[in-house]
Amino acid sequence: MDGWIYQQIICTEKTMKKKKASEPGLLASDSDWHNNACLNYMPDHGTAYTEGYRRAADILIKHIDESGRDQDFLVYPVLFLYRHHLELLIKQIIGLALALAEEPDKHQYKKDDHNLNTLWPLAQKLILEVDDSYRPSDFRIVKEVVKALHQADERATDFRYARRNDGTRSLEGIHYVNTRRFGEKMGEASDLLDGVDNGLRYLLDCKAEWNQILDSF
């Protein structure tokens, strides 16, 4: 091999190694600041997760609607993202309502429970207990989507994996999902629960202020 060519190869390898060593890690910032996502700066860390899953689903739904493409592939993340968003939002509401409840310990709540069919009834019960501005009939749309999602994905795995543990196909029997209509229904339920969430936070603030007044005497 020609000496000059050999030197060039060695120099190139060293440059590549140096560049590789100076590259930021997988979970790090880079020089194009508009692509740097900021984590762990919000006081309410959970809201970033809850809102993030919904926004991601809405972006995918909008892409399908406007392009008329990719629906057979994107339907799975759309279903998962919105289902997970709903689970997180319901759990967030349970946590807020328990903080307002007079006897929180009487309610059976497991944070690692992913069953919407048990989480939502508990959330609704707590909402009605701590906020008398709501009636059970107000939550018709939430009950509707929870029932449909639970029937399709009882174990919170069918939207994520193509096959179940027993080898059978996930989502068997479901042949079509209109992502636009799905997004509209989920958005309606989400907007309602967002309002509940904000209302409970307001009540918690009022409770904290009242306790502060009482402590001052």
CA–CA distance, 70 with 8 (Å, rounded to integer) = 46
> Residue 139 — pLDDT band, cuts 50, 70, 90?
very high
In a domain, 24, yes or no: no
Q: Is residue 21 part of a domain?
A: no
Domain count, the chain: 1
- For residues 46 and 93, is the Cβ–Cβ distance under 8 A? no
Return the pLDDT at 209. Answer: 82
Report if residue 61 sits inside a domain.
yes
Q: Tens digit of pLDDT for each residue in 157-177?
A: 999 999 999 999 999 999 999
Task: Flag whether 155 is in a domain.
Answer: yes
**pLDDT over 90 percentage in the chain:** 74
- What distance, in Å, lies between the first and last C-alpha atoms of the chain? 91
Q: What is the pLDDT of residues 21-60, one digit of tens each?
A: 567 899 999 999 999 999 998 888 899 999 999 999 999 9
| pLDDT value of residue 215 | 73
In a domain, 89, yes or no: yes
Token digits of residue 88? 């997180």
Using one digit for the tens of pLDDT, what is the confidence trace for 175-217? 999 999 999 999 999 999 999 999 999 999 998 887 777 777 7
| Domain-located, residue 28 | no
- Annotate 108-160 with DSSP letters as a single string: ---TT---HHHHHHHHHHHHHHH-TT--GGGGHHHHHHHHHHHHH-TTS-TTT
What does the angle CA 40 – CA 43 – CA 48 come to, to the nearest 5 degrees? Answer: 60
Q: How many CB atoms lie within 10 A of CB 60?
A: 21
Convert the pLDDT of each residue in 79-92 to its tens digit. 999 999 999 999 99
pLDDT at 104 exceeding the cut of 70: yes
pTM of the prediction?
A: 0.85
User: Residue 8 pLDDT > 60, yes or no?
Assistant: no
* Inside any domain, residue 25: no
Using the predicted structure, report yes or no on whether residue 11 has a pLDDT greater than 60: no
- pLDDT recorded at residue 155: 87
Domain that holds residue 145: 42-215
Spatial separation of the C-alpha atoms in residues 178 and 39, rounded to whole Å: 33
For the chain, what is the mean pLDDT?
A: 90
Average pLDDT rounded to a whole number, residues 154-159:
92
Has residue 184 been placed in a domain? Answer: yes
